[in-house]
Amino acid sequence: MGQVHRHTDMNRRLGGSRTYISGGASGIGRACAERLAEAGSSVVIMDLPRSRDAAEETISLLRGRGHTAHSLDVDVTDPDQVSAAVAQATEAIGPPDVVITAAGVATAPGHDHTVSLMETKADHWRFVMDVNVSGTLNLIRETTLSMMDNSIPGSVVTLSSVAALNPTRGVYSVSKASVWMMTRVLARELAPCGIRVNSIAPGSIDTPMLPTTLGGENFESWTARQVGRIPLGRLGTASDVASAALFLASEDSSYITGSMIRPDGGLTMGSG
């Protein structure tokens, strides 16, 4: 990427760049913010107003380590809010070189994520698709327009899921498969502008959101059974996903676009 300056210290390989991250207050988004800030990127995290305390905690952590970091309240399902947030972020640190769309949900509030697609209520469908699909596109559209306006050959990293390859999670699987196809479509459309678009499809990642997706099942028993299915023999961490994000954000992946990286411990190595 034209705006990224490579350093002999590989921990600073994003020096001089600017990263925007949706859903950056906690979990995978926060881990990505930490990892890319450590690599030298200035960071803006965008999250819901109800996540403001967590966002400010993340920002304080990054600033305490000497990094440039800002947070903004934004609902990614609202195009006007996204447009305003990108304008604010640009004013704060400059136009983006890297965008990570980590904002996402497993289900709608008050709904069981294990419900079949045939039984999914309309409000449940709309909520999950609005956040995971429309929210992802809203941020990508605004940020890549900024990249093009500023002649920045940037990198966009979407967060899909191994659920995109496994039709067992109802509307969640549909939404993440949509993110994966969106990634491929945008990679083709934006390649002439030098903008790369790739996806990360995490497997079972040990984050605060994970226990809430088990439909009331005992977390310990679920974990033991799931670990038994994972060739590498452990759940993933947010840091595992952040490492993939750093690779896709940096020039180390400069000839990769329209691809999916699966930090899943080998869980889906037999999937297409």
Residues marked active site are found at 172
Q: Please state whether beta strands 98-101 and 69-73 pair in parallel, antiparallel, or not at all (unpaired).
A: unpaired
Cβ distance 3 to 152 under 8 Å? yes
Cβ distance 72 to 86 under 8 Å? no
At residue 38, what are phi and psi to the nearest 5 degrees?
A: -65, -30
Q: In sequence order, what are the residues at sequence separation of 6 or more whose Cβ sits closer than 8 angstroms to the Cβ of residue 81?
A: 74, 75
Sign of torsion, CA 140 177 117 103?
Answer: negative
Residue ranges of alpha helices (H) inside the chain are 27-38, 52-64, 79-93, 122-129, 135-149, 170-190, 219-229, 238-249
Q: Rounding to the nearest 10 degrees, give the CA dihedral for residues 227, 231, 234, 237.
A: -120
Distances (CA, A) of 173 to 85, 109, 227: 28, 17, 21
Gap between the Cα atoms of 151 and 34, Å rounded:
26
Sign of torsion, CA 122 126 132 137?
Answer: positive
SS3 (DSSP) at 214 = coil
Sign of torsion, CA 212 217 220 226?
Answer: negative
